[in-house]
Structure 1
Amino acid sequence: MKQFVLSLLAATSLCAADHVVYEPAGAPKGKHIVLLSGDEEYRSEEAMPMLGKLLSQRHGFKCTVLFSVGADGVIDPTAGGSLSHPEALDSADAIVMLLRFRHWDEATSKKFEAAVNRGVPIVALRTSTHAFSGYAKDSPFAKWNFNNDGGWGRKVLGETWVSHWGRHKVEATKGIIEAANASLPVLRGVSDLFANTDVYEAAPPADATILVRGQILQGMTADTPPASYKKATAGKVEQEVNTPMMPVAWLRVVKNDAGTTNKVLASTMGAATDLENEGLRRLVVNGVFWGLGMEVPEKADVRIVGEYKPTMYGFGGFQKGLRPEGFELAK
Structure 2
Amino acid sequence: MIRLPAIAAVLALCVTAVTAVVSPAADPWLAIEGGDGPGKGKHVVLISGDEEYRSEEALTQLGKILAKHHGFKCTVLYAIDPITGEISPNKQDNIPGLEALRTADLMVIATRFRNLPDAQMKEIDDYLRAGKPVVGMRTATHAFNIPNDRAYAHYGNGYGGDKKEWADGFGRFILGEKWISHHGHHGGESTLGIIAPDAQDHPILRGIKDGDIWGPTDVYGVRLPLPADSQPLVLGQVLAGMKVDSAPVTGAKNNPMMPICWVKTYSMPGSDGVPAGPSGRVFTTTMGSSTDMLSAGTRRMLLNACYWAMGLEKVLPEKSIVDVVGPFEPLAFGFNGAKKGVKPADLQ
Question: What is the TM-score of this pair, normalised by structure 1?
Answer: 0.90
One of 161, 164, 171 as aligned partner of 2:189: 171
Residue aligning to 1:23: 33
Residue aligning to 1:297: 317
One of 302, 311, 324 as aligned partner of 2:331: 311
Residue aligning to 1:248: 260
1:140 deviation in Å? 1.8
Contact persistence 2:46–2:74 (CA under 8 A): yes
> For 1:101 and 1:136, how far apart are their aligned partners in 2?
11
Which string of whole-angstrom CA distances, capped at 9 and with x for unpartnered residues, describes residues 78-103 of structure 1?
Answer: 11101121211111110111110011
Give 4+ residue runs of structure 1 displaced > 2 Å after superposition: 13-17
Contact persistence 1:190–1:280 (CA under 8 A): no
Corresponding position: 1:325 with 2:335: no
1:14 deviation in Å? 3.8
Given residue 209 of structure 1, which amino acid in structure 2 is its aligned partner?
A: Q
Given residue 335 of structure 2, which amino acid in structure 1 is its aligned partner?
A: F
1:200 deviation in Å? 0.5
One of 107, 115, 139 as aligned partner of 1:95: 107
1:263 deviation in Å? 0.4
Deviates more, 1:13-22 or 1:305-314: 13-22
Which string of whole-angstrom CA distances, capped at 9 and with x for unpartnered residues, describes residues 228-285 of structure 1?
Answer: 13xxxxxxxxxx1101100100000121235111200100011000011111111111
Residue aligning to 1:269: 287
1:16 deviation in Å? 4.1
> For 2:347 and 2:96, how far apart are their aligned partners in 1?
14
One of 257, 260, 263 as aligned partner of 2:278: 260
RMSD: 1.9
Corresponding position: 1:287 with 2:309: no
Question: What is the TM-score of this pair, normalised by structure 2?
Answer: 0.86
Which string of whole-angstrom CA distances, capped at 9 and with x for unpartnered residues, describes residues 125-173 of structure 1?
Answer: 000000000x221212100110214211000001000010000000000
Would the alpha carbon gap of residues 298 and 106 (structure 1) be closer, same or farther in structure 2, given more than 3 Å must change? same
Q: What SS does the corresponding residue of 1:179 show, helix, strand or coil?
A: coil
Q: What SS does the corresponding residue of 1:143 show, helix, strand or coil?
A: helix
State which structure, 1 or 2, has the greater radius of gyration over its C-alpha atoms: 2
Residue aligning to 2:63: 52
One of 103, 111, 117 as aligned partner of 1:105: 117
User: Which residues of 2 match residues 35-184 of structure 1 at below 5 A?
Assistant: 35-71=46-82, 72-133=84-145, 135-148=146-159, 149-184=167-202
- Unmatched runs of 5 consecutive residues or more in structure 2: 1-19, 160-166, 270-275
Given residue 134 of structure 2, which amino acid in structure 1 is its aligned partner?
A: I
Q: What SS does the corresponding residue of 2:182 show, helix, strand or coil?
A: coil
> For 2:277 and 2:25, how far apart are their aligned partners in 1?
35
Given residue 303 of structure 1, which amino acid in structure 2 is its aligned partner?
A: D
> For 2:221 and 2:129, how far apart are their aligned partners in 1?
28
Which string of whole-angstrom CA distances, capped at 9 and with x for unpartnered residues, describes residues 196-218 of structure 1?
Answer: 00000013214111100000000
- Unmatched runs of 5 consecutive residues or more in structure 1: 1-9, 230-239
Given residue 95 of structure 1, which amino acid in structure 2 is its aligned partner?
A: M
Residue aligning to 1:233: none
The percent identity for this pair of structures is 42
1:119 deviation in Å? 1.4
| Number of residue pairs the alignment of both structures matches | 310
1:179 deviation in Å? 3.0
Given residue 307 of structure 1, which amino acid in structure 2 is its aligned partner?
A: P
Residue aligning to 1:235: none
Given residue 56 of structure 2, which amino acid in structure 1 is its aligned partner?
A: E
Q: What SS does the corresponding residue of 1:58 show, helix, strand or coil?
A: helix
